[in-house]
């Protein structure tokens, strides 16, 4: 199954390191990050889960719940959590799904058979409060993800969900943003009281709203 931007994020029930859960019910009206990793007791995955655990307060500050997944069983995840803590100093502080039956991996297209027909790739899905898929990422097993970048994207998604703006290349929280092309100059003057600078008729920048 291919999940595309704007699709409804499929609901599922799963066993996790924090007990069984139903995805939509667990997520509630928050944002969510659902991410897969290939296998327990592997080096890159160990560093990734420690990195996500360390950033949990940053996700929470943005009203984002995080949930991981691999096709190994939950009791394996629980044993591996000790290694993650030894190596990264971080306790596994978010649920990790045990997807032995490949139910969730199948639903979200996390197994790419031409990369590996058994294990999940490194998928990321960012889901909005209304359960729509807002971002998808796919990394190979050999490349650990940059979770600070994920926070940066979430900042952009949350800003653009609230205001008629887009964010330029390499944008970071607090920097100028782009007035959405669909907004006329007259409307932009009303919506953005700090005004805007038209670098080109189609490229108008304005200070980040609400700062």
Binding mask 77-96 for ligand BEZ (x = CB under 6 A): --------------------
Q: How far apart are CA 61 and CA 155, in angstroms?
A: 11
How do strand 177-179 and strand 13-14 relate by DSSP bridges?
A: unpaired
Residues 131-150 that bind ligand BEZ (CB under 6 A): 141-142
Q: Answer yes or no: are the C-beta atoms of 154 and 63 closer than 8 Å.
A: no
Stated as kind and residue range, the H or E segment containing 97 is strand 96-98
Is 41 an active-site residue? no
| 37, 142 Cβ separation under 8 angstroms | no
Quick one: which H or E segment has residue 150? helix 147-162
Give the residue with the Cβ less far from ligand BEZ, 23 or 139: 139
Tell me the chain's radius of gyration from C-alpha atoms.
Answer: 19
| Inter-residue contact 108 to 10 (CB < 8 Å) | yes
Which lies closer to ligand BEZ via its Cβ, residue 84 or residue 104? 84
In the window 31-50, what residues touch ligand BEZ (CB under 6 A)? 38-39, 42-45
* Cβ proximity to ligand BEZ, 58 vs 83, nearer residue: 83
Residue 66 CB, nearest approach to ligand BEZ (Å): 18
H-type alpha helices, 33-133: 43-54, 56-61, 74-88, 103-107
* Residue with Cβ nearer ligand BEZ (81 or 133): 81
Which one is catalytic: 14, 32, 45, 64?
A: 45
* Cβ 184 to ligand BEZ shortest distance, Å: 49
- Binding track over 153-172 against ligand BEZ, x by CB under 6 A: --------------------
Please state the closest distance from residue 100 (CB atom) to ligand BEZ, in A. Answer: 17
Q: How far is CA 97 from CA 70, 81, 107, 151, 163, in A?
A: 6, 13, 14, 22, 34
Minimum separation from the CB atom of position 88 to ligand BEZ (A):
13
Residues at the contact surface with ligand BEZ, assessed by CB under 6 A: 38-39, 42-45, 141-142
Catalytic positions are: 45
């Amino acid at each position: 199954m291919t999940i595309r931007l704007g699709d409804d994020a499929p609901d599922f029930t799963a066993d996790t390191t924090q007990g069984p859960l139903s995805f939509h019910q667990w997520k509630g009206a928050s944002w969510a990050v659902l991410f897969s990793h290939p296998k327990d007791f592997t080096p890159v995955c160990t560093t990734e889960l420690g990195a996500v655990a360390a950033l949990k307060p940053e996700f929470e500050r943005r009203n984002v719940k995080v949930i991981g997944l691999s096709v190994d069983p939950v009791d394996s995840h629980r044993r591996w959590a000790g290694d993650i803590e030894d190596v990264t100093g971080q306790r596994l502080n978010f649920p990790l799904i045990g997807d032995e039956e490949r139910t969730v991996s199948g639903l979200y297209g996390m197994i790419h058979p031409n990369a590996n027909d058994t294990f999940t790739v490194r998928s990321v899905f960012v889901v909005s409060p209304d359960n729509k898929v807002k971002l998808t990422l796919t990394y190979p097993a050999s490349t650990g993800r940059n979770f600070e970048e994920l926070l940066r994207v979430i900042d952009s998604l949350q800003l653009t969900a609230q205001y008629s703006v887009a964010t330029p290349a390499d944008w970071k929280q607090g920097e100028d943003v782009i007035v959405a092309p669909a907004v006329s100059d007259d409307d932009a003057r009303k919506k953005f009281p700090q005004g805007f600078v038209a670098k080109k008729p189609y490229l108008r920048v304005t200070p980040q709203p609400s700062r």
